[in-house]
A and B are shown apart, each in its own frame.
Chain A
Amino acid sequence: MNQAEVIAKLQTIFDTVFLEPVVLTPAISAKDVPEWDSLTHISLMVSVEKAFGVRFRVGEVENAKNVGEFADLIIKRKLEP
């Protein structure tokens, strides 16, 4: 899976969670999306982990600055045995 494919799959998750349509790009981040608050974030991460079958390590999601970095993190965790 490359970054574009991951973002495309993320898009379907975001479409479910958010009422107002959001078009995901590598540069977009939580502060650009009014509905993406800290509460929604918790739920979003639970959905992402289930959809991709990954488990992030403690603290690392908050280090991702935007959707692109977040997608890279998903790829990294997916490559793990």
Chain B
Amino acid sequence: MDIGLLKNLLLKGDPEFWVQLKSLTKSARDFEELFLLSSLRKKAHARKLENPNAPAKKIRLAILGGYSLYPLHELVEHLCEIDGLPVELWQGDYDNYISEIMDDNSELYTFAPQVVFILPAERRCTYTGHLTDARELQQAAAKNVVDSILELARKVNEKTRAEVITTNFMLPARHDLGAFRSRTLGSNWSFRKWVNLELGLNAPSFLHICDWEFLANRLGGLAARDERSWFESKQPCSSALLVKLAREVTQLIFSLKRAPKKVLVLDLDNTLWGGVVADDGLEGIELGDTSPRGEAFKAFQKYIASLKQRGVLLAVCSKNDLDKAQEPFQKHPEMVLRLDDIVSFKANWEPKSENIRAMAPELNLGLDSFVFVDDNPAEIEIVRQFVPEVTTILLGPDPSDFVAQLADCRLLEPRSITSEDAERTSQYRSDAQRKALEATVTDMASYLESLQMESVMSEFVPVDVPRLSQLINKSNQFNLTTHRRSEAEVIAVMNDKKFAGFSVRLKDRFGDHGLISIVIGEKVGDTMKIDTWLMSCRVLKRGVEEEVLNELVRLAKGKNCTRLEGVYMPTPKNEMVRDFYGKMGFTLTAESETKREFELKLENFQPAQTKIKIIRRAYEPS
């Protein structure tokens, strides 16, 4: 597909235009190419050729900063729309961002943005004193720059509750100052590095850094800048970097709204080691420091192990006999990955698509949270065709590129690493042990008793906000309403007295499950409306549901409510809780395609008895 054919589709008014526009946009690297695609997109709108798959809801995005925001805004708008997250855009005037944010009556606030993207002016990030000034003075000046950006971000977040994205600063690329540049904080080189570090390390959870320093470094310092475009039209950087910047901010906006992938499914032969273990034998496979190729495979395994450490679950899917496939994990001295790193190990002769499909219920995760990695194009193709929800990565021909391929795939990036992410593998593994125990205990009650479960219920507290928002945004199955909330929105609920929100943590003798359930009630008159009720499926049918209802009723009574109102809003993934309220003793009051409404009168409510010991209740002193 080339531009000429795309134009023809547009002129004919063929909706296939949108499919091709998306694929060309994905592969576009040059500014003028991307810009052209964007102008065709706008022309399609002008001609009323609309994308049949476009979501109706737009995100309100404000872009402001110390530069001309044309045509950056155009690229961002294009990329967001093509990725299925269309934006309604508000642009600040050139270098007017400080007053736009500080003035309570500015148009920015009338616009009521949900996401605000700030590009602070580079020329304000420079040390104006002498190169040989005392380091304390230079540090204080850097802190001033950081504080002023944090202050702007805080102000705009307080006023709008928007998520805020700010760029940091590019470093200079000229030789100016020579080797002395790194011996003083007064040089732009050191000063901006210092500011960038301080900014990132001190950013509150609603503030996201669009790492311009990194992007410019990746592209190359000289290629990142274009002085002429600054003098002519106040451009922030070269057109090549503008494309990278637009892609990065789009990625950030996306990560605010969508959860990262959770499971990495790995092929074995020629993926984790060189050669075919069933043919070449344990001694014949290439792995480890005896050959360059073997080293490359070992480095790939080390990288995968680091992904596991930051919370990615690892699984294996291989066309092999199970015993042969597992042998290197058990016996090969150079293997980095071991069997207990793998949460699901499928080695058989069934199609890989079927094996991966079977993993989803086993791990209680949706297929859309899986990434599949293989060196064989045929295996990638079968998974693409038969489990299109899974994202696939076809490894290139050279194992020394494997790490780079995963490190650049942008699918496994944590939004903010919580310690509970890192605990996840051990949770899933002890689930397996728990299931083994379940098989040995004959009745459910004594099984639950034997788990020695303990639970802590807590009102929303600031330290939990990242985890709360993470769970709110990724829970699909046990989720009655699927209301998503950003960290800023969770904080808003936390600070609003009409809401009674609480979280539930659970541990048992096999391990700590961490934060596994979230409920948000909203008091309206004498009714507590259940805005959100969600739970991790790993702890289904342990009595958590009952304890949550007990707690909800207790809080509702505390707020002088006489009834609970619950609603089930169907999605493609939450069928399992369709009758949940009914099972919990609620009465169905209304039913339609889009929701089922229930109520529970509190006067006759009897708290259920469970096997969970409640260590603490929400809104109570600990």
**Residue ranges of A at the interface with B (Cβ–Cβ < 8 Å):** 16-17, 19, 35, 38-40, 42-44, 46-47, 50, 56-59, 62
Contact = CB atoms under 8 A, between A and B. Distances in A.
Contacts of B43: 19
A79 B177 CA distance: 35
Interface string B226-245: 00100111000001000000
A33 B36 CA distance: 16
Greatest chain A CB density within 10 A among B11, B35, B40, B239 is at: B35
B116 to A, nearest CB: 23
B601 interface: no
Greatest chain B CB density within 10 A among A57, A58, A59, A62 is at: A58
A6 B40 CA distance: 26
A19 B49 CA distance: 15
Given A19-B11, A39-B39, 8 more contacts: A19-B7, A19-B40, A39-B74, A42-B35, A43-B35, A43-B39, A58-B232, A59-B232
A48 to B, nearest CB: 9
A59 B232 CA distance: 6
A46 B232 CA distance: 13
Contact of A47 (B11, B32, B232, B233): B32
Nearest to A18: B39
Nearest to A15: B4
Contacts of A42: 35, 70-71, 233, 239
Interface residues of B, number: 19
A58 B36 CA distance: 24
Contact of B31 (A16, A38, A46, A62): A46
Interface of B: 3, 7, 10-11, 31-32, 35-36, 39-40, 43, 70-71, 74, 228, 231-233, 239
Given A42-B71, A43-B71, A46-B239, A59 B231 contact: yes
Greatest chain A CB density within 10 A among B31, B32, B43, B74 is at: B32
Given A19-B40, A19-B43, A43 B32 contact: yes
Contacts of B10: 19
Contacts of B233: 42
Nearest to B4: A16
B238 to A, nearest CB: 10
Nearest to B34: A43
A67 to B, nearest CB: 19
A58 B228 contact: yes
Contacts of B32: 43-44, 46-47, 50
A16 B3 contact: yes
Contact of B231 (A17, A19, A44, A58): A58
B74 A17 contact: no
A44 to B, nearest CB: 8
Given A16-B3, A19-B43, A58-B228, A39 B31 contact: no
A50 B231 CA distance: 20
A62 B239 CA distance: 19
Given A58-B231, A58-B232, A39 B70 contact: yes
Contacts of A35: 39
Given A16-B3, A19-B43, A43 B232 contact: no
Contact of A16 (B36, B70, B232): B36
Contacts of A44: 32
Given A19-B7, A19-B40, A19-B43, A43 B31 contact: yes
A42 B7 CA distance: 21
A38 B35 CA distance: 13
Contacts of B232: 58-59, 62
